[in-house]
Amino acid sequence: MTAEEDHKTLQQIVNLSFPESIRYEDGFLDITDQRFKETAISRAYAYFLKKDDDSNLKGLFLNALLELIKEKSGKELSFEEFTVSTEVTTKNGKRIDILIDNKSAKTCIIIENKVFHWLNNDLDDYWNHSEYPDTNKIGVVLSIRQVNHGNDHFTNITHGEWMGRIRGNIPHDLTPREYVYLADFIKHMESLSKSSEMTDNVKFFFEHAEKVIRANAIYKEAKLYLQKQLEITASLMDWDIWGGSEGYRHIQPKSSEKKAFYAISYPGFFTENPEIKVIVELGGKTVARHQEMKELLASNNQYEKIEMGAASGSGWVHIASKTYQLTNENIASLSEFLISNIQEDFSAAMQLVLGRLAEPSIS
């Protein structure tokens, strides 16, 4: 593909209307590595279904489920007193995922919970487990998508349908703890439902696949250009370059043994308003002397041109930094731009720091 064709492709992409990206944040079940585990999700449903008079969540899950059952099957059931059990063993040794049981009224709801697994369960065995009149019980296949289960005793309700009905009836007087637990579970189940759907972003990709793939190749080329420019910067300074974490590279004097060095930060480089940040960083044992180095730079008026560093972590600390807004001209000669600004703004500060670090600590 010629440069002219590349430019044409990029212009076509710029003129496209992109769908909004949706980012999923981890919840309790993700943190515990239970995101897709049917048993864990069944226990969470049981937790909310069991809420009693002492909870503002009482009836929220059950009433929503009963409404959906009536709409889909025509059956109208009532549960004044009931128990909720998970992994209930049938006479044939099978396991019912969730059983909502009112023994006094001989009424029950038998729930087969499916999360991306095939439905090959013996639904008749589940149905026959409770020897109640057929009119007093209902089976529910709870699934991510609509499924054809082929059993007249069971109706299909999706997790998304149940969550949607609950979301529309959330009480206004929940305690903070109740709200956090409920919101987290609803978000989790809705995200599972959406993860099986073709999102707007996926549709967008297949509608413009060739252009998107080409744009990604150009993006990789731009990232490679940046890395080469940073390597050239280190080479022209006769310093070493190291570190490969996303968004950071380090440049240091060949003999400094990582006592003090420049960190080049560029998370904001690939934006419409590109920028790059130069940082004076201490590492290893010299971190313990960071306050001494800051006082040294302050007493020599170095913070008039650069900012005092504030960020720190395990084994590193920033003592000075400056962010540079970049023009296309700056980017076209990035290594020269960096060397010029490092020499102008940071060279004196770095020499002071390296000189002091060569001396014993004053503490």
Tokens representing 131?
A: 């020897």
DSSP string across 273-322: S-EEEEEEEEEGGGGGGHHHHHHHHHHTTGGGTSEEP--EETTEEEEEEE
| Residue 242 β-bridge partners | 250
List, in sequence order, the alpha helices (H) in 208-275.
209-237
Nearest to 343 by CA among 322, 316, 326: 322
Please report the pLDDT score of residue 229 as a whole number: 95
Of 155, 152, 101, nearest to 131 by C-alpha is: 101
The beta-carbon contacts of 133-138 under 8 Å, at least 24 apart in sequence, are 133/106, 135/75, 136/77, 136/105, 136/106, 136/107, 136/108, 137/107, 137/108, 137/109, 137/110, 138/69, 138/73, 138/75, 138/77, 138/109, 138/110
The reported pLDDT for the residue numbered 197 is: 62
What mean pLDDT value characterizes the chain?
A: 88
Say if residue 9's pLDDT is above 70. Answer: no
Confidence of residue 13 (pLDDT cuts 50, 70, 90): low
The answer for residues whose C-beta is within 8 angstroms of residue 356's C-beta and 6 or more apart is 289, 292, 293, 296
Q: Render pLDDT for 52-70 as a digit per residue (tens, 0 to 9).
A: 777 889 999 999 999 999 9
**Which pLDDT score is estimated for 281?**
94
Q: What tens digit of pLDDT does each residue of 84-111 get?
A: 999 999 989 999 999 999 999 999 999 9
Instruction: Say which residue, 258 or 225, is predicted with more confidence.
Output: 225
Which residue shows structure tokens 């903070």? Answer: 176
Cα–Cα distance measured from residue 224 to residue 193, given in angstroms and rounded to the nearest whole number: 38
Backbone Cα Rg of the chain: 31
> Does residue 1 carry a pLDDT above 80?
no
Residue spans of the domains in the chain: they are 28-195, 213-357
**Residue among 316, 326, 319 at smallest CA distance from 302:** 319
Question: For domain 213-357, which CATH number applies: 3.40.30, 3.40.50, 3.30.1460, 1.10.287?
Answer: 3.30.1460
pLDDT tens digit sequence for 198-219: 677 778 888 888 888 888 888 8
Euclidean distance between CA atoms 205 and 209, whole angstroms = 5
Over range 163-174, report the average pLDDT: 91
pLDDT for the residue 128? 93
